Amino acid sequence: MKPFIINDIEVFVDEVEKYIQVNDISEKDLARLWEYLQMHCHGYELVLCFRDAAAPVDTLAVIGAEVLEDCLTMKATQNEFIPYPCNDMTPLEKSDFAEFSVLHDKVNPECGGTSQRILSKWDNWRVFLLRKKSSNEIIGYSIIHVNLRDAAMGEIFCVWASSSTHRKAMLSAATQCAFQNGKEVIVYMVDRDNANEYEAALAVGYQEAGYYVGYRVDIRPI
């Protein structure tokens, strides 16, 4: 995504996917921005992220935005990290991408790390797979972004697995990879109501460090 300044407000735009993201915007600025977007960006999806800050719920309701994610912010440093056995994890290769993308788009359609974004910015992402030995089908995967604006930070975008053991292993593999890529702090947004994700994060050494709420709305012309 590319950063732009609109009416003195920083926005991030992916023109290919028609996606706009704005972080921690005030109620006054949101009203100004929304008027501009309706005039110039209809057909785009707008995602508004609020990190450790109260969201302007009245204005969000007026523009028709709905809650996309309600998460706890979990963070881990290398000193806090508790490695979990993850010997069977393999990195995703482009030759396996089609198989992975079909699964990912089906089980995590709202993930910020979409298949299209991963493929178009391949070097920014690391994906680890876990396969069932008897059939070779993918039964778990994790996605991490290693090229954020803050070069010292990596972010886990997704951990998907059916069992607690596999979930911890997938998270551990992604976290280890981030540290191996020179990251000092790893962030993992855990759904507030997902006890399994929270348990896995704690088991691998993550600590609760705040909260995040995301809203989404389709931009339509005035």
Q: What is the pTM of this model?
A: 0.86
In sequence order, the β-bridge partners of residue 143 are: 127, 158
Question: What is the rounded average pLDDT of the residues 163-178?
Answer: 94
Pinpoint the residues of the chain covered by CATH 3.40.630.30.
Answer: 81-205
What secondary structure letter does DSSP report for 184?
S
Q: Each residue of 68-103: pLDDT tens digit? A: 999 999 999 999 999 998 888 999 999 999 999 999
Using the predicted structure, report yes or no on whether residue 1 has a pLDDT greater than 80. Answer: no
Residues above pLDDT 70, as percent of the chain: 100
Sign of CA dihedral 107, 109, 110, 111: positive
Q: Each residue of 195-218: pLDDT tens digit? A: 999 999 999 999 999 999 999 999
Spatial CB neighbours of 96, under 8 Å, sequence gap ≥ 6:
129
Question: What is the rounded average pLDDT of the residues 55-61?
Answer: 95
Using the predicted structure, report yes or no on whether residue 189 has a pLDDT greater than 80. Answer: yes
Q: Do the Cβ atoms of 184 and 25 come closer than 8 Å?
A: no
Question: What is the rounded average pLDDT of the residues 6-10?
Answer: 91
Long-range contacts of 159-167 (CB under 8 A, 24+ apart): 159/188, 159/197, 159/200, 160/104, 160/107, 160/108, 161/130, 164/196, 164/199, 164/200, 166/130, 166/139, 166/140, 167/140, 167/196, 167/197, 167/200
Question: What is the rounded average pLDDT of the residues 109-128?
Answer: 90
Distance CA 88, CA 54 (A): 42
| Mean pLDDT for the chain overall | 93
For residue 162, name the pLDDT band (cuts at 50, 70, 90): confident
Using the predicted structure, report yes or no on whether residue 163 has a pLDDT greater than 80. Answer: yes
Using the predicted structure, report yes or no on whether residue 145 has a pLDDT greater than 90. Answer: yes
The architecture that CATH gives domain 81-205 is 3-Layer(aba) Sandwich (3.40)
Question: What is the rounded average pLDDT of the residues 106-119?
Answer: 89
Q: Do the Cβ atoms of 128 and 170 come closer than 8 Å?
A: yes
Using the predicted structure, report yes or no on whether residue 222 has a pLDDT greater than 90. Answer: no
Q: What radius of gyration do the chain's Cα atoms show?
A: 18
